[in-house]
């Protein structure tokens, strides 16, 4: 009871101290007494690393969450390369943490033993990250069993080495069984993630995505040449089939908002390079750019092409491709400003047009979805997409009404959006709904809805959660009847 009261008072204090629309609180990293110095970094949506320098017993580290940030975000610590006689090299990889705004973590690091201990309020999450690090599947670096030998030294991964001799490279048919064993470990980790209590839903979702993206990235690694001296490798059918099967899961992540999809942009860029190799093209920045432009669409097309050009222009002149990019990327021109050396600007995860659909209410003139959402800025909004002919939708509506009653005083609003083509059927269904489902609207042109297309809403019921600033935090939320739904709403409130 005391803990519940303390949590309530802390939440009220945050609401008083942090104004609506303000940048979320930072995460804090502290070194425990006796810890060796720690260097950490994290990336934003533009692929730019935020190198925060040293953490020591007298110097605290901060993780900023603002425009262009991932939430949650991955925190990486510095790798070390150790050389032991006779000229053997070993890469010491540290763990990767997943942090949310407001988190505080205390770290005890021993450089000689490459050991890390983490303590924090969400200990189950920290412990899970450590277990991942100690297994074969980590969220960073390259697992030892998937390393390819370089000049007879199997302790160096060829991805990170200066390769001169390609004779020792393994066949892709030899690589696949190793990767499949790693995939089985990934499946076991995902099952473990679902069973572990004390992990916040956003962090669990982030860890699950990162595991899948790491597996996909490592599957594509052997086909990536390091220089033009490399012979482009022709993958066997089994390898191509495996990539195609894994790709389906990666493409499904494109429905996520950019701020929730850390690693996805890199995976899409890497897949474009893979397709270049299949087409017998060396994956230069220009070739990869043209391939990504062809493969993807919308925001993720702009994102993948930007990441390819941003990385490539550090080594060569890509002005021709940047000019081409400028001709079609106008809805996401914040990327173009970055390519041309401008300062980071707020990144729009979704174009304004995605919210421009016209809606009809039970009475009164039509209104735009943009205006409707703006009217509830400062509230946490649950969008309940349904249809009169959808039995599961109507069975779930009493549960969304119950959620509105439970959390309404704290700021939750439920908006019901129908995709009915027939307005008469919709109005008839409204009369049969229980009391409390009052905020009802219908897409006037549901079949041509930009909103449904942008968020890939192909079936109902479908639920989405927006935070108090109006940002889409979960475009494919759990049903209100799911036992985990309350935790998602609590986090946003």
Q: How open is the CA angle 21-406-484, to the nearest 5 degrees?
A: 80
* pTM over cut 0.85: no
Residue 372's CB is within 10 A of a number of other CB atoms, namely: 18
Task: Give the C-alpha separation, 471 to 349, whole Å.
Answer: 9
Domain boundaries of the chain, sorted by first residue: 26-262, 263-349, 352-492
> For 352-492, which CATH superfamily applies?
Glutaredoxin (3.40.30.10)
- Identify the burial level of 298 via C-beta atoms within 10 angstroms of its C-beta, where 0-12 means exposed, 13-18 middle and 19 or more buried: middle
**Phi-psi domain of 159 (left: phi exceeds 0; alpha: psi -120 through 50; beta: other):** alpha
285: CB partners within 8 A, 6+ apart = 308, 309, 311, 312, 313, 315, 316, 318, 321
Asked if 29 and 75 touch (Cβ cutoff 8 Å), the reply is: yes
Residue at token pair 């930072």: 26
pLDDT at 322: 93
pLDDT at 307: 94
Task: Give the C-alpha separation, 281 to 288, whole Å.
Answer: 9
Kindly give the confidence (pLDDT) of every residue in the chain, 493 residues in length, as a single tens digit, with 9 standing for 90 and above.
444 443 333 333 333 333 334 456 789 999 999 999 998 989 888 888 776 667 888 889 888 887 678 888 999 988 776 666 555 556 678 899 999 988 999 999 998 888 999 999 999 999 999 999 988 888 876 554 444 433 333 333 333 333 333 334 456 677 788 889 889 999 999 999 999 999 998 899 899 999 999 999 988 888 877 667 667 777 888 889 999 999 888 887 877 777 778 889 999 999 999 999 999 889 999 999 999 999 988 888 899 999 999 999 888 889 999 999 999 987 677 888 888 887 655 444 455 567 778 899 888 888 888 888 888 888 899 999 999 999 989 999 999 999 999 999 999 999 999 999 999 999 999 999 888 888 999 999 888 888 888 777 878 899 988 888 777 877 878 888 888 888 888 888 8
3-state secondary structure the chain: CHHHHHHHHHHHHHHHHCCCCCCCCCEEEEECCCCCCEEEEEECCCCCEEEEEEEECCECEEECCCCCCCCCEEEEECCEEEEECCCEEEEECCCEEEECCCCEEEEEEECCCCEEEEEECCHHHHHHHHHHHHCCCCCCCCCHHHCCCECCECCCCHHHCCCCCCCCCCCHHHHHHHHHHHHHHHHHHHHHHHHCCCCCHHHHHHHHHHHHHHHHHHHHHHHCCCCCCCCCCCCCHHHHHHHHHHHHHHHHHHHCCHHHCCCHHHHHHHHHHHHHHHCCCCCCHHHHHHHHHHHCCHHHHHHHHHHHHHHHCCCCCCHHHHHHHHHHCHHHHHHHHHHCCCCCCCCCCCCHHHHCCEEECCCCCCEEHHHHHHHCCCCEEEEEEECCCCHHHHHHHHHHHHHHHHHHHHCEEEEEEECCCCHHHHHHHHCCCCCCCCCEEEECCHHHCHHHHHCCCCCCCEEEEECCCCCEEECCCCCCCCCCHHHHHHHHC
Task: Give the C-alpha separation, 114 to 97, whole Å.
Answer: 16
Task: Give the C-alpha separation, 98 to 101, whole Å.
Answer: 11
Copy the structure tokens of residue 3.
Answer: 């803990």
Task: Give the C-alpha separation, 3 to 9, whole Å.
Answer: 10
C-alpha distances out from residue 394 to 390, 428, 466, Å: 7, 13, 22
């Amino acid at each position: 009871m005391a803990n519940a009261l303390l949590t309530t008072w802390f939440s009220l204090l945050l609401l008083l101290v942090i104004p609506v629309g303000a940048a979320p609180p930072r995460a804090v990293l502290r070194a425990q007494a006796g810890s060796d110095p720690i260097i950490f970094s994290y990336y934003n949506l533009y692929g730019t690393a935020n190198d925060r320098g040293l953490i020591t017993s007298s110097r605290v580290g901060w993780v900023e969450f603002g425009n262009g940030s991932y939430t949650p975000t991955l925190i990486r610590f510095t790798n070390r390369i150790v050389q032991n006689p006779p000229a053997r090299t070993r890469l010491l990889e540290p763990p990767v943490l997943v942090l949310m705004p407001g988190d505080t973590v205390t770290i005890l690091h021993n450089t000689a033993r490459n050991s890390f201990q983490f303590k924090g309020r969400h200990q189950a999450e920290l412990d899970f990250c450590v277990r991942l690090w100690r297994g074969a599947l980590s969220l960073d670096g390259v697992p030892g069993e998937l390393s390819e030998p370089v000049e007879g030294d199997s302790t160096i991964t060829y991805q990170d080495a200066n390769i001169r001799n390609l004779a020792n490279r393994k066949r892709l048919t030899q690589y696949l069984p190793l990767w499949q064993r790693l995939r089985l470990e990934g499946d076991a980790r995902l099952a473990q993630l679902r069973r572990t209590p004390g992990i916040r839903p956003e962090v669990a979702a982030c860890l699950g995505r990162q595991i899948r993206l790491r597996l996909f990235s490592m599957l594509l690694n052997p086909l990536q040449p390091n220089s033009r001296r490399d012979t482009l490798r022709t993958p066997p059918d089994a390898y191509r089939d495996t990539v195609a099967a894994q790709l389906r899961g990666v493409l499904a992540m494109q429905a996520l908002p950019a701020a929730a999809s850390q690693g996805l942009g890199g995976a899409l860029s890497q897949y474009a390079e893979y397709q270049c190799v299949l087409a017998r093209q060396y994956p230069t920045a220009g070739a990869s750019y043209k391939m990504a432009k062809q493969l993807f669409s919308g925001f993720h097309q702009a994102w993948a092409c930007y990441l390819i050009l941003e990385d490539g222009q550090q080594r060569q002149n890509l002005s021709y491709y940047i000019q081409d990019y400028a001709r079609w990327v106008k809805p996401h021109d914040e990327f173009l400003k970055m390519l041309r050396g401008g300062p980071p600007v707020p990144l729009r995860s979704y174009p304004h047009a995605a919210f421009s659909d016209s809606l009809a209410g039970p009475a009164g003139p039509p209104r735009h979805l943009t205006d409707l959402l703006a009217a509830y800025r400062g509230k946490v909004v649950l969008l309940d997409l349904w249809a009169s002919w959808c039995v599961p939708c109507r069975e779930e509506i009493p549960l969304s009404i119950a959620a509105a009653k439970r959390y309404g005083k704290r700021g939750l609003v439920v908006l019901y959006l129908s995709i009915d083509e027939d307005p008469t059927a919709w109005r008839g269904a409204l009369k049969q709904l229980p009391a409390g489902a009052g905020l009802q609207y219908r897409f006037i042109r549901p079949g041509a809805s930009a909103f449904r297309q942008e968020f890939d809403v192909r079936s109902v019921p479908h639920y989405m959660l927006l935070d108090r600033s109006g940002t889409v935090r979960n475009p494919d939320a759990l049903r209100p009847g799911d036992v985990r739904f309350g935790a998602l709403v609590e986090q946003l409130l």
